[in-house]
Structure 1
Amino acid sequence: MDYKDYYKTLGVEKTATKDQIKKAYRKLARQYHPDVNPNDAEAERKFKEANEANEVLSDDEKRQKYDQLGADWQRYQQAGAGRGNQGGGFDWGQYGQGGGYGGEDPFGGADFSDFFSSMFGGMGGGSGGGSTRPRAGQDYQAELELSLEDAYHGGPRTLTVNGKSLRITIQPGVEDGQVIRLRDQGGPGRSGGPAGSLYITLRIRPDARYSRAGNDLTMDVPVSVYTALLGGEQTVDTLSGPVKITLKPETQNGTRLRLRGKGFPVHRQPGQFGDLYLRLSLTLPQNLTEQEKTLFRQLADLRN
């Protein structure tokens, strides 16, 4: 029976805090979750390994016993590991609570490994004679796609997770990749434990008109050469509605204008907005008449 390096499985140091372990586990759970990787045996194996590692390292009592075993593992091997019997003469009782592991996987998958069963016996619940402790249900993962306007305005949205329809409210100003947690919307708890949580990752589709950097937006605005030369007013469509801007005479191509407070709303800070930057792009007239060409030649002669 091989030693299970749970710290290596989660990719954390042996000095990792509970928060670091929790963060590492959730990252792996999202990456290898069966819902994300259907019919992928390797992903399923890694998902179960992460569950088992988290089961031990997130529990103070189990982690203490596991760390103690790590120091004694060489003695266990010398005591008879691999000689055809599970214990090999090694006293597993000092680590577990005796009895066989009941085969009940709190994550809803297959049994934990023999290594886990040998160490913790009845600690995992089931028929091994140990006490059954309340356990939180499995966390679920989902994604919700939004347009940039959806993210700007916010509002109610409906999504279906594991056959259940959920209605949520999106707060204005959310970002791509932002995660929303819904408590008690995951898997059911066991032995009186709370239900798991649902983690919804927001995916914001690219927008052809705007580029976003934090709470600021940038957009290209076409301007006729006549308005650029002579100055004038022009209406610009923003996410909050049309805005009239005034251009000075002889405005150059590529000029940037800043509209304060016309960018993206600041998340969970009502009334606060980023800025909108306008990048002016001059458009030249096409299909000139002979008379227009003559006038442009005259203008060119005057400038020379």
Structure 2
Amino acid sequence: MEFIDYYKILGLDKTASTEQVKKAYRKLARQYHPDLNPNDKEANKKFQQINEANEVLSDPEKRKKYDQYGQNWQHAESYEKTKQSQQEAGRYGAFTGGESFSGDFSSGDFSDFFTSMFGGSSRGGRSQPKFRGQDYNAELQIGLREAYTTHQRVFTINEKNIRITIPAGIANAQTIKLKGHGGPGVNGGPAGDLYITFSIAEDPVFKRLGDDLYTTVELDLYTAVLGGEKTIDILDGKVKLKVNPETQNNTKIRLKGKGFPVYKKEGTYGDLIITWLINIPVNLTEKQKALFRELSQS
């Protein structure tokens, strides 16, 4: 497995604080984000490495293991347990597997054992342990209207295109797992998983809160006073609404089942809440002003 220097990827040294790690990650993630570098494989690969580096260095426990074991940090626990078994075997003159040893391990034995654990040749034809591959984390940006319907997207990871189905109703910051699409396993071990976190951009017309949608619709003064009908756009078409006479500014109406689809509950939707914004007419003629004056004095 190729070694990746996470500190180098983020342009930091080992003394960097957690805040410096976060700051470097945000800056580089914006620079190499796939949406800003379409069809750029190198930028996409760099973006994945940046996410991977941030995942490890922003977590104190993972960072501690990484600093101590480098590329083998994910297997630190297994190594420590085996190391402890070796030391105990050395003290008692025996080792699991029937081989006999006397005294403690020398530094040479220790190094050879480490190599056999994490790659390279093993002594006496002993099979090497298998380890699960590293999990990957990635971010995928989509629009609110895309999140409204179930659709497919092609996601590129490690220069491989993966077609994923995004269920309708996916939420901002929600994470889904793609099993087996992470880093390769060690010595034939299973691959890690890929975790995709969704970033849903704000929409200029609709605001989403949970499964409900909110929007503001302009209404002319005459319809607000006299009543009538108003046709408005919704995410999957249009709807005609009845406007009651003497409707006041900022009046809210709720349309049941016209909001956002509920995640993985086909046919279930939140509500659409509409706020009427009454427009006051401008550029009135003298005749129109006179009619308003007459109306105000009646």
> What's the TM-score bracket when you normalise by the shorter of the two chains?
0.5 to 0.7
Query: In the alignment, which residue of structure 1 is the partner of 2:166?
Result: 170
Tell whether 2:238 aligns with 1:242: yes
After superposition, the Cα gap between the structure-2 partners of 1:189 and 1:39, relative to the gap in structure 1 and judged at 3 Å, is: closer
1:122: Cα distance to partner?
Answer: 5.1
Identity percentage of aligned residues: 40
Question: Quick one: structure 1 residues 291 and 175, their matched pair in 2 at CA, closer, same or farther if it must change by over 3 Å?
Answer: same
What's the counterpart of residue 138 of structure 1?
A: 134
1:152-301, aligned counterparts within 5 Å? Answer: 152-301=148-297
Distance 1:136 1:142 in 2: 19
In structure 2, give the amino acid aligned to 1:148.
L
Runs of 4+ in structure 1 displaced over 6 angstroms? 30-34, 37-40
Among 42, 50, 62, the residue aligned to 1:36: 50
The letter of the residue matching 2:66 is K
* Aligned 8 A contact 1:173 1:267 in 2: yes
Aligned-residue offset at 1:159: 2.2
Bigger shift: 125-134 or 235-244?
A: 125-134
Q: Which amino acid aligns with 1:136?
A: R
Contact 1:155 1:171 (C-alpha < 8 Å) held by counterparts: yes
Q: 1:64 to 1:131 in 2, by over 3 A?
A: closer
Cα distance in 2, alignment partners of residues 282 and 63 from structure 1: 72
**1:3-152 matches, cutoff 5 A:** 35-36=49-50, 43=57, 46=63, 48-49=66-67, 54-57=74-77, 59=78, 62=80, 99-101=109-111, 123-127=117-121, 129=123, 131-152=127-148
Alignment gaps of 5+ in structure 2? 1-24, 30-46, 88-102
Distance 2:232 2:71 in 1: 53
CA distance in 2, matches of 1:38, 1:271: 37
**CA distances 1:248-275 after superposition (whole Å, capped 9, x unpaired):** 1111101110000011100001011111
- Residue 99 of structure 1 and its aligned partner are, at CA, apart by 2.7
Distance 1:234 1:224 in 2: 10
Aligned to 2:230, what secondary structure does the other structure show?
Answer: strand
Aligned in 2, Cα 1:291/1:297: closer, same or farther, shift over 3 Å? same
Change in Cα spacing, 1:263 to 1:281, as seen in structure 2 (3 Å) is same
Instruction: Note the alpha carbon deviations across 1:163-207, whole angstroms, 9 max, x for none.
Output: 112211110000111112111222222222111212111111111
CA RMSD of aligned residues (A): 3.6
2:177 counterpart SS class: strand
Give the aligned residue type for 1:100: F
Give TM-score, length-normalised by structure 2.
0.66
Q: Residue 253 of structure 1: SS of its match in structure 2?
A: coil
CA distance in 2, matches of 1:260, 1:229: 25
Structure 1: stretches of 5+ with no match in the other structure: 1-29, 70-90, 103-116
Distance 1:100 1:128 in 2: 13
Q: Indicate the residue corresponding to 2:92 in structure 1.
A: none
For 1:48, the aligned partner's letter is: Y
The answer to whether the Cα contact below 8 Å between 2:118 and 2:186 also exists between their aligned partners in 1 is: no
Q: CA distance change for structure 1 residues 228 and 170 in 2, over 3 Å: closer, same or farther?
A: same
**Partners of 2:237 and 2:210 in 1: how far apart?**
20
- CA separation in 1, counterparts of 2:153 and 2:214? 27
**Pairs aligned (count):** 229
Change over 3 Å in CA distance of 1:295–1:277 after alignment to 2: same
Asked if structure 1 preserves the Cα contact closer than 8 Å seen for 2:145 and 2:235, the reply is yes
